Structure 1
C-alpha cells in the first residue's frame, strides 16, 4: 500500500493492556500487522507482567515503529493500563484489543470506512468466539444496528475487542478504575452523553475463551454488573432489576 493511501487514512490508536500475555501476544500483534489498513499505532502497556511478554513486545517494537510499549510502575489492572495508552495515543480513532484476542485482517479497513462515511462517534462489530487454542467455534455474537444507554444496560452486547471510538466527536475518554467491567462503564458513560453506538454486523474479531480469566467467570461478571447498576450508575432498585433481567437473558443467549 502506497504512502499516499496511508496519508489519506486517519490514524487509529490501538490500546492493549499487557499482563501475563506471553502465550498469545505474538498472534495478537501479528493480527494487527496483517491489517489491510496501514495507518495505525499499537500502544501496549505493561502492567508489571511477570512473564516474558515485555521481551517479546520489544522485538516487535524494534522492527516496527508503529508498535510502542509503555510501562506502569506497579500492577494496577486493565483500566489504568488502558488509560495510560489513551493518554499516549495520537489517533483520531481509539480501538481496543486485548492481548489474547485477534482481529480479522479487514477489521480496521471496514470499520473505519463505516465510521468515516457515517461520521459516527462509536462503533462495534460482531465477533466470533474461539477456543483457548485458537480453533474456531463457529459461534458468532451478532450485533444490532445501534444501541443506546437503556439498551446497553439490558444487553451488554458490545465486545471490547471490537470497539472503535472517534476521539474528535466524543471528547474525553477514560475508564473508571475498577478491576472488571470498566469497559462497560465507559460505553455507558459515552451513551449517557447522548451518543449512539453503531453496530457493524460482520464478525471482524475473534474473542478467545481463556479458562480462569476474569471474564470467564460468569457469576462474578453478573455480580459486577449489579455493582455497576447500583453503585456507579446509581439506578433505582426497580431499574436495576429490569436491567439485570435483560442482561441475564441476553448473556445466556450469547453463550449458549
Structure 2
C-alpha cells in the first residue's frame, strides 16, 4: 500500500472551511466504526466534515468505510495509510483537515446526544474561545461523568485560561484526553514532534495545543461515549517503552510549564506517583524477585538519563511522605530489596491510568 493514499476525494464545492473537522483514527475497528459515523450524522448541527485515517488495519475497517452510505461523500475524506501508531495518525488527520476546530473521536466511541456539536458551536460563538472542554461517560445505560472538572477554577460562564488548565495538568492525569476537547486547528504545529510515541500521546498533544491557546470554555456535560476497552493499559502487559514515552512526554511538558506558574512541589510528588504507579503495573509480568530487581535496575538506568526524573526531590510533608514518594526514593537510592518488599505488601502502590 502507498502510505497516505486518499481513497475518497472531496468534491470541488466542499473545499470551503467547515466549523468542525471530526477526526477519526482507525485501526482494526470494523465492529464499531459505523456506530461512530451514525452518531455524527444524527447531530442537529451540520457544519462539519469527517476525516478518517486508516492506520494500516488488517481487518475490514477500510472496506467498511469505503462501502458506508451513512455520510455523504462530500462530507467525508478517507485516507489509507501504513501503520504508524496513534500519535502519527492524529498528526496526519489534522494535516488533512479543513475545519476551523478539531474534534477527535476514537473509532470505537460515539457522540451521545444529537445536540452535542450544537452546544460546542454555541460556546465557540459566544466566547470566541480557543478550546472547549466537555465531559464523557463510560456507560450509555447509566450516564456518569468521567472527568472531575471541579479541579478547574472556571468562572460562572465556564471560562478559564489555558495556563490554569496546564497548571492543573502539571500534577494530574485528569485532563489528558484529547477526545474530550474541541480546539482551534491553527493551534496545532504538525512539525512539533517527530518522535514515535505509543503511550501518553494524548497528554502531550493536549499540552502542546494548550500552550498556544488563550482562553478555554468548559461545558461540564457528557457529550462523548468512551467505550470500555478490554485491551487498555491496565489489562495487558506493559512494555518498557511505556516508561520511555512517559519520561519524554513529561520532559516535553516541563518545557511548556516553564512559561507559566504552577506548584513545583506538587508536580515533583506527582512525577514520583506516575513512575511508581507504572512500575507497579509493569512488575506484574515478572513472577520472581530476581527478575523484578532487573526491572528496577533498568528503570533506574532510564530515569538517570533524564535531568527531570533524576533530580526529583519532593519534601517530606507534615505527617510523613506519601507511599509513592517513599517508593521512588527507595528506587533511586538503589534499595531495591526494600522496594520489592513494599510493592509486594502494597500490590498496587498507586493506581495508574493513562486515560488513553
Bin the TM-score by the shorter chain.
0.7 to 0.9
2:203 counterpart residue number: 184
The correspondence of residues 1-256 of structure 1 with structure 2, limited to 5 A, is 10-60=18-68, 64-65=72-73, 66-72=75-81, 74-104=82-112, 105-130=114-139, 135-141=140-146, 142-143=148-149, 144=152, 145=154, 146=160, 147-158=164-175, 159-168=177-186, 170=187, 172=189, 176=193, 177-193=196-212, 195-214=214-233, 223=243, 224-230=245-251, 233=254, 240-244=267-271
Q: 1:83–1:175: 8 Å Cα contact kept in structure 2?
A: no
Q: How many Å apart are 1:122 and its aligned residue?
A: 0.9
User: Structure 1, residues 52-103: CA drift from partner, whole Å, max 9, x if none?
Assistant: 111111122685121221011x210111111111111111111100001111
Q: Name 2:316's counterpart in structure 1.
A: none
* CA displacement, residues 161-189 of structure 1 (integer Å, 9 cap, x when unaligned): 22111125x36356744112222112112
Q: Size of the alignment, in residue pairs? A: 241
Distance across 2 between alignment mates of 1:222 and 1:48: 22
- Partner of 1:183: helix, strand, or coil? helix
Q: Quick one: structure 1 residues 208 and 93, their matched pair in 2 at CA, closer, same or farther if it must change by over 3 Å?
A: same
With over 3 angstroms needed to count, the CA separation of the structure-2 counterparts of 1:254 and 1:43, relative to structure 1, is: closer
Q: Tell me if the contact between 1:28 and 1:99 (Cα under 8 Å) persists in the aligned partners.
A: yes
In structure 1, list runs of 5 or more residues that go unmatched.
1-8
Q: Distance in 1 between matches of 2:55 and 2:102?
A: 19
- Secondary structure of 2:23's match? strand
Aligned partners of 1:122 and 1:198 also within 8 Å: yes
**Distance verdict in 2 for CA 1:179–1:219, change over 3 Å:** closer
**TM-score, structure 2 normalization:** 0.58
> What's the RMSD between the two structures over aligned residues?
3.5
Larger Rg: 1 or 2?
Answer: 2
Query: Which has the higher relative contact order, 1 or 2, with Cα contacts under 8 A spaced 6 or more apart?
Result: 1
Unaligned 5+ segments in structure 2 are 1-16, 155-159, 259-263, 278-323, 325-349
